[in-house]
């Protein structure tokens, strides 16, 4: 059973009661991510996410970890392009502890200078690790190439120059500016009572001193990016070439979003997908190949990843383009749409069997839609997609003149992809 309450200061509390579960997942979500940073601030949201676990007025970093470990729970966080989430998963009997820990780090983190320097070193190692993982790193490069000089294109972790330049006052000022009640969603799922949760959150977060200032501040204008196109080779000494080929897609609330789900899964969403069958199974030209989509409030992109040898790079790009053109031309076999719809519905339902996935599901719905979107609605939306819907969307998206191709590999001078020239 879903419920929603808005506290007096604007914080939204949403919950999904699941009486047959013993666990509860609780998250504090802030509508703040790397998109809301200036070029000089790139990575500060992610840095703050780390720092909130490094001690409060009441607890040291070790005590925060020890208290959650003592009940076998999970305490963690993540930063995305448009939001940050701090969450805990515990047995229902330990919900008071989860509430106390999360609200303590959210309201009373100390941002000690020694912890900042220690965590700066950790984040720099995280950046280096990402750059040493080429199948992940190429996605960051694609985002930079595709969104040009827009915050959506910049890496969530930031870069060496920005991360080394942050000072304590930068974190404190950014936190005070961005962590406002109107941007906060408290989300819970599991064996939880909504009214009791609201009372606890009103007591702990309802008097947040940042509330009155937040309600008088104008909403930040989030300008949509100008999307790029072209071929962007990035040189790195590697055995393989890792590539992302992408184009503009659909945003989170786009009326064709269900058709986009089907299109993405049909093209490269599993072992039965067109790309996997054609490029890996039939031709053996790649070990890993799949399609992907990212959706934000106002924009999105759709793309394909593949890892292949230098000698097969051009051929793999041509094969990807052939599959895109085939879908845009309506070359869809009987039963493909129905099989893909079943795959989507089944994977969604299976993915929502845990309280943490439900906690995320209802929080994202609140952030992007302002209301619950039931699984029945999603299933009906997926099942309603027709062959013509998929073809029409493919025709809208797939234009060679608007493609962005990012490549990461040991390229020589003069390297070109003739197919896209």
For residue 408 the two structure tokens come to 């990461």
pLDDT at 224: 82
The confidence band for 420, taking pLDDT boundaries of 50, 70 and 90, is low
Residue 213 has pLDDT above 90, yes or no: no
Among candidates 112, 110, 107, which has minimal Cα distance to 180?
Answer: 107
pLDDT tens-digit map of 289-328: 999 999 999 999 999 999 999 999 999 999 999 999 999 9
How confident is residue 217, by pLDDT bands cut at 50, 70 and 90? very low
Residue 95 token pair? 């919900």
Indicate the range of 93-107, 264-278, 397-411 predicted with least confidence: 397-411
Q: What does the pLDDT read at residue 206?
A: 87
Between 413 and 410, the higher pLDDT residue: 410
CB-CB neighbours of 370 under 10 Å: 10
Query: For residue 138, which of 399, 323, 404 has the smallest C-alpha distance?
Result: 404
**Over 60: is that where the pLDDT of 210 sits?**
no
Global confidence as pTM: 0.93
**Phi, psi for 74 (deg, rounded to 5):** -120, 135
Q: Is the pLDDT of residue 402 over 90?
A: no
Q: Which string of b and e fits 132-153 if b means at least 16 CB within 10 Å?
A: eebeebbbbbbbbbbbeebbbb
User: Tens of pLDDT along 17-66?
Assistant: 999 999 999 999 999 999 999 999 999 999 999 999 999 999 999 999 99
pLDDT of res. 170 = 97
DSSP, collapsed to helix, strand or coil, labels residue 200 as helix
> Residue 26 pairs with which residues in a beta bridge?
88, 188
| Contacts of 42 by beta carbon, 8 Å cutoff, 6+ apart | 34, 151, 154, 155, 158, 159, 162
| β-strands 12-17, 184-190 pairing | parallel
Greater confidence, 226 or 319?
319
Q: Which one has a higher pLDDT value, 211 or 58?
A: 58
Q: Which residue's entry shows tokens 């304590």?
A: 168
Tens of pLDDT, residue by residue over 138-154, are: 999 999 999 988 999 99
Average the pLDDT over 267-293 and give the result.
95
Averaged over 231-247, what is the pLDDT?
A: 95
Least confident window among 126-130, 205-209, 212-216, 317-321: 212-216
CA separation for the pair 205, 10 (Å, rounded)? 10
Residue 318 is among the residues annotated as catalytic for this protein: no
Provide the percentage of residues in the chain whose pLDDT is more than 90. Answer: 89
CA distance 174 to 362: 27
Q: What is the pLDDT of residue 228?
A: 82
Exposed e or buried b per residue across 277-311, where buried means at least 16 C-beta atoms within 10 angstroms of its C-beta: bbbbeeeebbeebbbbbbbbbebbbbbbbbbbebe
Yes or no: say if 11 and 103 are a contact pair by the CB < 8 Å rule. Answer: no
Task: Assess whether pLDDT exceeds 70 at residue 366.
Answer: yes
What domains, with CATH codes, occur in the chain? 2-216 (3.30.830.10), 230-420 (3.30.830.10)
Selecting among 41, 49, 115, 278, the annotated active-site residue is 49
Cα dihedral 316→317→322→323 (10° resolution): 80
What's the CA dihedral at 189, 194, 199, 205 to 10 degrees?
40
Residue 421 reports pLDDT greater than 70: no
Which pLDDT score, from 0 to 100, does residue 208 have?
A: 60
Q: What per-residue confidence (pLDDT) applies to 214?
A: 38
- 15 membership: H or E segment, kind and range: strand 12-17
218 pLDDT higher than 50? no
d(CA 76, CA 1): 26
Residue 221 binned pLDDT confidence (cut-offs 50, 70, 90)? low
User: What are the counts of helices (DSSP H) followed by strands (DSSP E) for the chain?
Assistant: 16, 11
């Amino acid at each position: 059973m879903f419920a929603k309450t808005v506290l007096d200061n604007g914080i939204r509390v949403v919950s999904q009661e699941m009486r047959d579960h013993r666990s509860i997942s609780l998250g504090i979500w802030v509508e703040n991510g790397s998109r809301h940073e200036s070029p000089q601030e790139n990575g500060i949201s992610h840095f703050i996410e780390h720092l909130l676990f490094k001690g409060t007025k009441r607890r040291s970093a070790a005590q925060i970890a020890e208290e959650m470990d003592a009940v076998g729970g999970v305490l963690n966080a993540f930063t995305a392009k448009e939001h940050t989430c701090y969450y805990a998963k515990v047995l229902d009997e330990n919900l008071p502890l989860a509430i106390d820990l999360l609200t303590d780090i959210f309201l009373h983190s100390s941002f000690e200078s020694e912890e900042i320097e220690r965590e700066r070193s950790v984040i720099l190692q995280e950046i280096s690790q990402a750059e040493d993982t080429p199948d992940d790193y190429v996605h960051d490069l694609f985002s930079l190439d595709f969104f040009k000089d827009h915050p959506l294109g910049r890496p969530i972790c930031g870069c060496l120059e920005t991360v080394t330049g942050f000072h304590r006052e930068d974190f404190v000022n950014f936190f005070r500016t961005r962590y406002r009640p109107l941007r906060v969603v408290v989300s819970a799922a599991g064996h939880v009572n909504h009214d009791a949760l609201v009372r606890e959150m009103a007591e702990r977060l309802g008097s947040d001193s940042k509330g009155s200032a937040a309600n008088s501040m104008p909403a930040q204008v989030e300008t949509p990016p100008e999307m790029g196109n072209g071929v962007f080779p990035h040189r790195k000494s590697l055995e393989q070439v890792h590539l992302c080929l992408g184009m503009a897609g659909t945003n989170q609330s786009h009326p064709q979003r269900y058709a986009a789900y089907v299109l993405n899964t049909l093209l490269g969403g599993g072992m039965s997908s067109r790309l996997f069958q054609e490029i890996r199974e039939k031709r053996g030209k790649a070990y890993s190949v799949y399609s992907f989509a990212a959706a934000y409030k106002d924009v999105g992109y759709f793309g394909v990843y593949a890892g292949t040898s230098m000698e097969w790079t051009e051929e793999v790009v041509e094969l990807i383009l052939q599959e895109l053109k085939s879908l845009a031309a309506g070359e869809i076999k009987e039963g493909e749409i129905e099989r893909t719809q079943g795959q989507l519905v089944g994977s969604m339902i299976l993915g929502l069997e845990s309280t943490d996935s439900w906690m995320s599901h209802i929080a994202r719905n609140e952030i992007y839609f302002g209301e619950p979107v039931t699984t029945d609605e999603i299933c009906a939306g997926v099942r309603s997609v027709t062959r013509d819907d998929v073809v029409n969307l493919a025709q809208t998206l797939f234009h060679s003149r608007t493609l962005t191709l990012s490549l990461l590999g040991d390229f020589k001078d003069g390297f070109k992809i003739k197919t896209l020239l």
